[in-house]
Structure 1
Amino acid sequence: MSTITLVTGASDRIGRAIAATLAEQGATIAVHYHSNKEQAEQTVEQIKSIGGQAEAFQADLSSFEDVQQLKAAIEQSLGTVTSIINNAGYTQLKSFFDYSPLEWQKEIDVCLNGLLHLAYVFLPTMKEQKHGKLITVIGDSARTGDRKLIVSATARGGVISFIKSLAQEVGRDQIQCNVISLGLIDQDDLQFSPEVKRQVVKSYPLHRLGKAQDVADAVAFLASDRSNWITGQIISVNGGHSTLGS
């Protein structure tokens, strides 16, 4: 069976690393982006440069209609999606009382409702085929709490509950649903002083921050047939920073 994988938020950074790694393993990649078409096309070109197949697709995951159109566009161009890697997200770095009323809605719509839309639209076809994988990427703040990530952490706490429950519902259809929970990933955008960064790194037992490829490799395992008896789980990719159970 050919593997057609939708990677959301794949225009750059972690999403691009995930898309490229899965392409190296032979998957055809639907590169999703929200607003940056140019970067999404760069992801496509990177995949094609290594001999892979990919095409870019735009959608606002907070819109149910957009997700429906996304599915139709992918099926018309590439075929039926067999795996979804949901890496898309939206976060505002602020404490709760710095929000204006309802300013938090976009974070909830993208981080939680976007996943619900993807599952509701794409999984019925996977159920018919008796095969599929849904992997969603969150931050450890969903389990530990973080006063500066309070809304996105709350939304992704809901993601955990949803994935665990969905895994029970669709397991009989041989669909696996899992979460990858991340520690701090260094993508050359951390605004730390050298001293602060040293202190942060020291808090990780492996004495380094994560890399995008660390995430991509974990996703690649869960997306492969080697993980076919794993579902409803939270896989921590955090350098041992927190020893949280699932």
Structure 2
Amino acid sequence: MPKRFADARVIVTGAAQGIGRAVTSAFAAEGARVWALDLDAEGLADASGAVARRSLDLSRRDDVHRVVQEMALAEGGIDILVCCAGGVRGQVGRPLAEIDEADWQVIFGANLESTLWCAQAAAPVMQRAGRGRIVTIASGAGLRPSLTGIQAYTAAKHALVGLTKQLSLEFARHGVTTNSVAPGFVLSNPASQRQWDAYGPEGQARLVESIHRRRLGRAEDIAHAVLFFADPASDWITGQILSVDGGRS
């Protein structure tokens, strides 16, 4: 049976762990040539199926443009960009009065600016080809207040939802669709594990009870949604935010 994404040229950011690693594996299993990008060089070494791995700070515009140009030249183009980089950067919820400038900016750099620079670099390559897919990873925190209690995180994810829709308006006329997956609570990395543990047994039970499917999400659940948006059959879907959260009440 033919592979669904045979020889598709794919960039996945945040590929060192969690959702990004699952997305990398899912595309590779379907025949794609995946370039895995992340700040965490050690984690990237375990990104299964990637044909290339690049460690860089994705909030730095020049570094992002350099790596994206390198891929476009090496592979002869870029078909799909999936922006999974983000997270809480080791922070925990605390009162707004305690937040300093560096705490705020590092979360915006990881969750918003990384996507902005990747899209800025990759979209012109796709536009010249007349086709392409950009998929961002937002969050339930981009649609409502965040369970993390981190003000910068929910603000950055709300901004990412707006950026996704704006990019759709700009790029779709050139054959490049832009959509976002908004995960619910996915237990997939050390940060989400710490958050889960902090809830304690009673809080954990309440959270699971609020999910219609009565289970936490898995990184593979999000990867399946990403592949749906990346598929050629999704050509008339753009500017959309898909909640993948088990039906959270």
1:12 corresponding residue in structure 2: 17
Aligned match for 1:71, one of 68, 73, 76: 68
Q: Larger deviation: 229-238 or 106-115? A: 106-115
Matching of residues 1-246 of structure 1 within 5 Å? 2-34=7-39, 36-43=40-47, 46-47=48-49, 54-91=51-88, 92-95=91-94, 96-146=96-146, 148-187=149-188, 189=193, 190-191=196-197, 192-242=199-249
Structure 1 CA distance for aligned equivalents of residues 73 and 131 of structure 2: 20
| Aligned-partner SS, 1:57 | strand
Q: Name the TM-score, length of structure 2 as normaliser.
A: 0.88
Q: Compared with structure 1, are the counterparts of its residues 77 and 37 closer, same or farther at alpha carbon in structure 2 (3 Å cutoff)?
A: farther
Q: Larger deviation: 144-153 or 124-133? A: 144-153
| Aligned-partner SS, 1:176 | strand
Q: Compared with structure 1, are the counterparts of its residues 54 and 155 closer, same or farther at alpha carbon in structure 2 (3 Å cutoff)?
A: same
After superposition, what is the alpha-carbon deviation per residue over 1:90-125, rounded to whole angstroms, capped at 9, x for unaligned? 413223222123431111122112211111111011
Give the AA of the match of 1:7: V
Structure 2 CA distance for aligned equivalents of residues 140 and 199 of structure 1: 17
| Aligned-partner SS, 1:104 | helix
Give the AA of the match of 2:30: Q
After superposition, what is the alpha-carbon deviation per residue over 1:198-221, rounded to whole angstroms, capped at 9, x for unaligned? 221111111111111100111111
Give the AA of the match of 1:14: I
Instruction: Structure 2 unaligned segments of length 5 or more: list them.
Output: 1-5
Q: Name the TM-score, length of structure 1 as normaliser.
A: 0.89
Q: Compared with structure 1, are the counterparts of its residues 65 and 222 closer, same or farther at alpha carbon in structure 2 (3 Å cutoff)?
A: same
| Aligned-partner SS, 1:42 | coil
Q: CA RMSD in A?
A: 1.7
| Aligned-partner SS, 2:227 | helix
Tell me if structure 2 keeps the 8 A contact 1:141–1:149.
no
Instruction: Structure 1 unaligned segments of length 5 or more: list them.
Output: 48-52
Identity percentage of aligned residues: 27
Structure 2 CA distance for aligned equivalents of residues 219 and 130 of structure 1: 21
Give the AA of the match of 1:159: L
